Amino acid sequence: MLLMMAVLLALYMFTEIYLSATNDYEVGGAAGEVALLRADAWEADGAEGAPRQTALIGSAHGALGQTVAQWCTYSKRPLRCYASLSSYLAAGADGVQVLCIDPAALSLPADAEALEGLTQKGLTIVFCALPDVEEIARSPGLQAVLGIKSVRQAQAALTGVYLYDGFLVGGEAFYGQNSGMEVELEIPWYELESGTKVYLTGLTRAAEDDEGQEERPAILWRNNEGSAKIYAVNGDFLEDETGFGLLDGMLAEGSPYLLRPVVNAQNLTVAGYPSFAAENTRQLQEIYASSHKMLLQNTVWPNLIAATEQSGFRMTCYMTTQLRSPEGEPQADDLAYYLRQFKERRGEAGRCADGGPEQWAQDTAFLSAQGSSVPYPAAYVGTDAADFLAFARGGDAQGIRTVTGDCERPLLGYLTETVTYQGATHRADRYGFREDLKNRSLQTALAYTNILLEMERVTWPETAEDRWENYSREIAGNLSTWWKPYSQFDKTTAAESDARVRAFLALDYEDELDGDTITLTIRGREGTVSFLLRTHDQEVQSVSGGTAGQVEKGCWLVSVEEDTVRIALAHGQP
């Protein structure tokens, strides 16, 4: 990898000399029209008679409830919420296909009998987490519903986790010792009945070499009881966006196929880069033997180019005049230099909006003084969008149509009537068990990622990990390794992804299988939209009204160009 990075760096330096000598760039860009607004977005309002009816037992405002509610919005599933199981039963809830249960809303042991009765309704029942192990141990009826034979151990320390092939996009995965991703997790250990199917399982130190499933504490499994398919999640895995793909995996497992809309956007956010005023000069000279300007242009930028050339990602760089304490005026020639670089590399320039009102005003004045005609449709808001919302209310955020950051949920949606929010999914230098499972889940449910690089920590390093030589090493390794299985999905800039998010949020659809042909009907389509198709033993033979590309075995990315699409399937090779 180091050799490849060196070669790419050399090529970069040669190319820059050539371009500077031979090109005169017009660094403009087209802002484009914002055709879709918040009012156009589909809403999961629980309308009776609509397809894909879903019910939640529990609060939609808790961690589990928020996951279910967002998943319903993204998968176009009308949602009905009930405070308790008894209120759900009293309402009748005709047409519900999927019932999600927050265990905090159950009244045990009284609800155990009612749960047993629901197994005759043909539902897909999801226990988003499990009741306390003591409650399960006291309730034979609840154990029967969950497919639990007995409680083997109230808490088992896991040394590893194994994800079985076919449940999430990305294939099987092993986490633990010798995998590079350590696992620190304790869960109850349940002995399961023989008819259950496990999709995610833990490993204990005593059973690391034992291939028998019964010697592995189950994390996520299915039990078929009566006419119901019952899924149990043993842990907190549905308390964040990881739950989106896990829920989709359950539906794909329990159906002949699963076809659902996705964003199809893989983004790379570089926050606080470039900054145009010199700062922290003394420390930068001590650490890097370089000035602020030379560090960013001669060290950071070539490394970023090398990393993105190797991984295929396209950068959206969020600029600012300063990060903390400037030691001079921002340099106008630096702005022209980077705009040319972004255009040449098919990247994009955005603005930092996480430095407060004064910083935003200073950046606006600087950009205006340069007479730049480049539109800046994207802004970075950090962990709090409050400042940006204040700018927007005051009319100071004109031209911004999408923001990104690491804020509270939802992951994707509208921040204002006209501005979308695209949440960061990962930090570029951190990747472990939880991050990988989340990545697989989001690719399964949304074909979406947004990786965050924070450049302030490089200019103002506080630890050895913040120094560019260490930070960049982690970034390059992670980008080129962990997103490689998803190369079928498109690499986009923030503005490109924004258009896809709007189209994704606006559409609705219906699908039906007749023989070996799926008919997909779309409402509210704006341009080309993407769907992910997952099958079991069938392959895509042909598509009318769109195209299909195989992501992996049993999974296709379908690009939809018409309102009615027909997908012909054929049985694959055994």
Question: What tens digit of pLDDT does each residue of 50-80 get?
Answer: 778 999 999 999 999 999 999 999 999 999 9
464-489 burial, b at 16+ Cβ within 10 Å, e below that, comes to eebbbeebbbebbbbbbebbebbebb
Co-location of 71 and 214 in the same domain:
yes
The domain boundary, picked from 453, 471, 500, lies at 500
What pLDDT was estimated at residue 233?
A: 98
Count CB-CB contacts under 10 A for residue 537. Answer: 11
Structural domain contains residue 38: no
Structural domain contains residue 37: no
SS (H, E, C) 19-76: HHHHCCCCCCCCCCCCCCCHHHCCCCCCCCCCCCCEEEECCCCCHHHHHHHHHHHHHC
Co-location of 79 and 126 in the same domain:
yes
Co-location of 190 and 281 in the same domain:
no
* CATH number of the domain enclosing 106: 3.40.50.880
Residue type, 5: M
Domain, as residue range, for 170: 43-256
Co-location of 280 and 405 in the same domain:
yes
Structural domain contains residue 284: yes
Average confidence score pLDDT of the chain: 91
Co-location of 156 and 227 in the same domain:
yes
Co-location of 520 and 445 in the same domain:
no
* CATH number of the domain enclosing 343: 3.20.20
Tally the domains of the chain.
Answer: 3
Mean pLDDT of 153-182: 94
Question: What tens digit of pLDDT does each residue of 108-129 get?
Answer: 999 999 999 999 999 999 999 9
Structural domain contains residue 473: yes
What pLDDT was estimated at residue 214?
A: 53
* CATH number of the domain enclosing 531: 2.60.40
Co-location of 6 and 90 in the same domain:
no
Mean pLDDT of 215-223: 95
DSSP lists the bridge partners of residue 519 as 512, 566
Co-location of 291 and 366 in the same domain:
yes
Question: What tens digit of pLDDT does each residue of 297-332 get?
Answer: 999 999 999 999 999 999 999 999 999 998 989 999
Co-location of 284 and 428 in the same domain:
yes
Structural domain contains residue 19: yes
Q: Is 511 helix (H, G, I), strand (E, B) or coil?
A: strand
The domain boundary, picked from 231, 256, 281, lies at 256
What pLDDT was estimated at residue 45?
A: 62
Co-location of 293 and 354 in the same domain:
yes
What pLDDT was estimated at residue 211?
A: 54
List alpha helices for 140-190, DSSP H. 140-146
Count CB-CB contacts under 10 A for residue 371. Answer: 7
Structural domain contains residue 550: yes
- Given a contact cutoff of 8 angstroms between Cβ atoms, the answer to whether 483 and 298 are in contact is no
Co-location of 343 and 449 in the same domain:
yes
Share of the chain above pLDDT 90, in %: 83
Co-location of 230 and 154 in the same domain:
yes
Out of 49-53, 116-120, 352-356, 520-524, which region has the weakest mean confidence (pLDDT)?
Answer: 49-53
Structural domain contains residue 537: yes
Q: pLDDT class for 22, splitting at 50, 70, 90?
A: very low
What pLDDT was estimated at residue 103?
A: 97
- Longest distance between any two alpha carbons in the chain, whole Å: 79
Structural domain contains residue 36: no
What pLDDT was estimated at residue 43?
A: 85
What pLDDT was estimated at residue 209?
A: 53
- Claim: this prediction has a pTM higher than 0.85: yes
Pairing of strands 54-57, 98-101: parallel
Residue from 75, 171, 173 nearest 446 by CA: 75
Mean pLDDT of 45-49: 58
The domain boundary, picked from 480, 500, 520, lies at 500
What pLDDT was estimated at residue 206?
A: 62
Higher pLDDT, 208 or 468: 468
Gap between the Cα atoms of 422 and 543, Å rounded: 31
Count CB-CB contacts under 10 A for residue 256. Answer: 12
Mean pLDDT of 181-193: 95
